[in-house]
């Protein structure tokens, strides 16, 4: 499965701008973003359907902002719910409830942060909503379509599919998980470690006679740490069961460093009964619940927590995103969120190159921005897993993601002096915080995030600072009469992914920035 070599486009049976491999949250989010930018893309998935389990069930505040921009937030809010308080139980049969506490630290209302805490939504439902959004944008998923290999040349990539056909794409993005076929075809290694050698069972189950107003956690009988958990999944009638130091396999083998153990769903017939019996045994030995309270196993899998990072996120015209590029412990709810934000970072750059004539060097900034951030998130997830902390604070919300060292973050000489900036003013590379605004010439209030929503970049012209003429159509200019929130009297150029690119008082700086993007 070579990743290089000359293969003519005439051999390909179909063509597209971007081939996205893998219809998990990453691939679906990327396909939605590309479609709304007018980029031709094809999304292929080796499986027969979307992943059926709850797995990553928490959407962090920054991801909610991303989903708002992608047009699915209303559906996400309607389908999910806030995290319930934890009810801690004494472990084992007859164990009594001990105390109640909030796992998620509450945040005070803040106009800069419209979504102040994580939102619970099972992964299967997040994927379903993104799939529906993709359909509304005119796209879809080619199921039962895997990748067998690829060859790239100076003009594009020829991908061999497992049905014997080929597809010719200008770019390819591997969003195909920890055991990524695309990454292996490129020969890119992953470096990491096993965070915890003990297997963990995760299952979606229906439980009778257990209240859904709490996240039920049974303390490990040997340690002051969770030993078993049943979390009511918002918007469903199921619980997510988590059992550390347990396995569904008679003989479990260690996961490879480049991926967690493959999930094994509750199959039909005898296998389904075997899995259900194992879960009933866990239920009765670690909790005060009875075996007959477990009514149904919807999905079940075993995994070992690993942390690994791909040596590169790009090889030529092929990119890696999501679990194909980085694997996390589930502790802290960072994996799915980081993956969706990979797609959000890469989508606008591909769109600008393919639809608006930006120089292809813009695509180099994907790895430059996302790889260091993924490494930091891996460290956070690993630390939370090993300390077995039951508290989640602002460090997990991903609102402090910044690209301050990126070549796309410019500190203009004509920027306002620091003493003229609000104390909470964002620096180039920071997430642009939301703020209540009043556009010049109207008394109608508007929030910054309303102006940012869509595939465009935004130039916020505050006060009397003149805005430049002749900007390309992918930048929308909005004039604000007076300084508002963290935005001083100046020109603030905000990238399509909501990060501040440039603050200046000289319109020529904005024109130079745009010219440089176009090479």
For 167, phi then psi, to 5°, come to -135, 140
pLDDT band for 354, please (50, 70, 90 cuts). very high
**Cα angle for residues 473, 475, 477 (degrees, 5° grid):** 110
Token readout for 410 is: 């410019």
Per-domain residue ranges of the chain: 9-83+118-194+307-396, 200-304, 410-517
| pLDDT given at position 67 | 97
For CA atoms 272, 274, 279, 281, give the dihedral sign: positive
Q: Which residues contact 387 (CB under 8 A, 6 or more apart)?
A: none
The mean pLDDT of 261-290, rounded to a whole number, is 79
| pLDDT given at position 94 | 85
Class of domain 410-517: alpha beta
The mean pLDDT of 35-44, rounded to a whole number, is 98
Report the relative pairing of strands 215-219 and 86-89 from DSSP bridges: parallel
| pLDDT given at position 147 | 97
Give percent of the chain with pLDDT exceeding 70: 87
| pLDDT given at position 418 | 84
Give percent of the chain with pLDDT exceeding 90: 68
47, pLDDT greater than 90: yes
Token readout for 328 is: 């996390």
**pLDDT digit string (tens) for 145-163?**
999 999 999 999 999 999 9
pLDDT band for 378, please (50, 70, 90 cuts). low
| pLDDT given at position 423 | 86
Q: Which residues contact 469 (CB under 8 A, 6 or more apart)?
A: none
Alpha helices (runs of H) in 329-400, residue ranges in sequence order: 335-356, 364-387
Which residue is associated with the tokens 């994996």? 335
**pLDDT digit string (tens) for 230-239?**
999 999 999 9
Burial of 463 (0-12, 13-18, 19+ CB in 10 A): middle
CA dist 379 and 124 (Å) reads 26
Which residue is associated with the tokens 């595939």? 455
Beta-carbon count within 10 A of 263 CB: 16
Task: Tally the C-alpha atoms within 13 A of residue 481's C-alpha that lie toward its C-beta.
Answer: 9
CA dist 403 and 426 (Å) reads 11
The mean pLDDT of 221-244, rounded to a whole number, is 84
**pLDDT digit string (tens) for 201-220?**
999 999 999 999 999 999 86
Length of the chain equals: 519
252, pLDDT greater than 70: no
Higher pLDDT, 175 or 445: 175
Fold classification of 9-83+118-194+307-396 is FAD/NAD(P)-binding domain (3.50.50)
**pLDDT digit string (tens) for 290-303?**
999 999 999 999 98
487, pLDDT greater than 90: yes
Cβ atoms of 365 and 85 closer than 8 Å: no
Q: What is the mean pLDDT of the chain?
A: 88
pLDDT band for 424, please (50, 70, 90 cuts). confident
For 46, phi then psi, to 5°, come to -65, -35
For residue 90, give the DSSP letter: -
Alpha helices (runs of H) in 109-195, residue ranges in sequence order: 123-136, 181-186
14, pLDDT greater than 70: yes
The mean pLDDT of 361-389, rounded to a whole number, is 80
Cβ atoms of 361 and 519 closer than 8 Å: yes
Look up the pTM and report it: 0.91
């Amino acid at each position: 499965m070579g990743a290089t070599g000359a293969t003519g486009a005439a051999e390909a049976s179909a063509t597209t701008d971007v081939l996205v491999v893998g219809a998990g949250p990453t691939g679906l989010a990327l396909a939605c973003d590309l479609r709304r930018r007018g980029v031709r893309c094809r999304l292929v998935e080796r499986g027969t359907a979307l992943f059926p389990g709850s797995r990553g069930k928490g959407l962090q505040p920054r991801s909610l902002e991303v989903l708002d921009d992608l047009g699915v937030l209303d559906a996400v809010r309607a389908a999910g719910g806030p995290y319930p308080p934890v009810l801690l139980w004494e472990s084992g049969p007859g164990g009594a409830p001990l105390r109640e506490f909030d796992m998620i630290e509450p945040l005070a209302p803040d106009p800069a942060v419209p979504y102040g805490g994580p939102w619970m939504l099972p992964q299967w439902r997040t994927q379903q909503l993104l799939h529906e959004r993709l359909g509304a944008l005119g796209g879809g998923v080619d199921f039962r379509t895997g990748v067998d290999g690829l060859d790239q040349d100076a003009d594009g990539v020829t991908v061999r599919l497992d049905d014997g056909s080929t597809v010719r794409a200008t770019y390819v993005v591997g969003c195909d998980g920890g055991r990524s076929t695309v990454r292996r075809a490129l020969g890119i290694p992953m470096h990491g470690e096993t965070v915890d050698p003990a297997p963990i069972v995760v299952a979606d189950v229906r439980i009778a006679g257990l209240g859904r107003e709490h996240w039920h956690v049974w303390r490990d009988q040997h340690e002051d740490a969770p030993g078993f958990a049943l979390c009511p999944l918002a918007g469903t009638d199921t619980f997510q069961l988590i059992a550390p130091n347990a396995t569904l396999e008679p003989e479990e083998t260690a996961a490879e460093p480049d991926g967690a153990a493959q999930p094994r769903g509750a199959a039909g017939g005898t296998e389904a009964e075997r899995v259900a019996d194992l879960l009933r045994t866990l239920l009765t030995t670690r909790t005060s619940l009875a075996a007959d309270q477990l009514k149904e196993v919807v999905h079940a899998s075993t995994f070992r927590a690993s942390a690994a990072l791909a040596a590169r996120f790009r090889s030529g015209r092929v990119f890696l995103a999501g679990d194909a590029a980085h694997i996390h412990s589930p502790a802290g709810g960072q994996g799915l969120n980081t993956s969706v934000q990979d797609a959000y970072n890469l989508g606008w750059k591909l769109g600008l190159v393919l639809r608006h004539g930006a120089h292809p060097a813009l695509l180099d900034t994907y790895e430059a921005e996302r790889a260091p951030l993924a490494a930091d998130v891996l460290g956070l997830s690993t630390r939370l897993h090993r300390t077995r902390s039951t508290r989640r604070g602002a460090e997990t919300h991903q609102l402090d993601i910044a690209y301050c060292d990126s070549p796309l973050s410019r500190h203009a000489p004509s920027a306002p002096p620091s003493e003229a900036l609000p104390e909470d003013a964002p620096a180039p590379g920071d997430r642009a915080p939301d703020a209540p605004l009043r556009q010049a010439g109207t008394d109608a209030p508007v929030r910054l995030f309303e102006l940012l929503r869509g595939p465009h970049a935004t130039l916020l012209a505050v006060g009397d600072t003149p805005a430049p003429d002749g900007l390309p159509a992918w930048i929308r200019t909005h004039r604000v009469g007076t300084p508002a929130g963290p935005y001083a009297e100046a020109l603030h150029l905000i990238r399509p992914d909501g990060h501040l690119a440039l603050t200046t008082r000289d319109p020529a700086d904005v024109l130079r920035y745009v010219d440089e993007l176009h090479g």
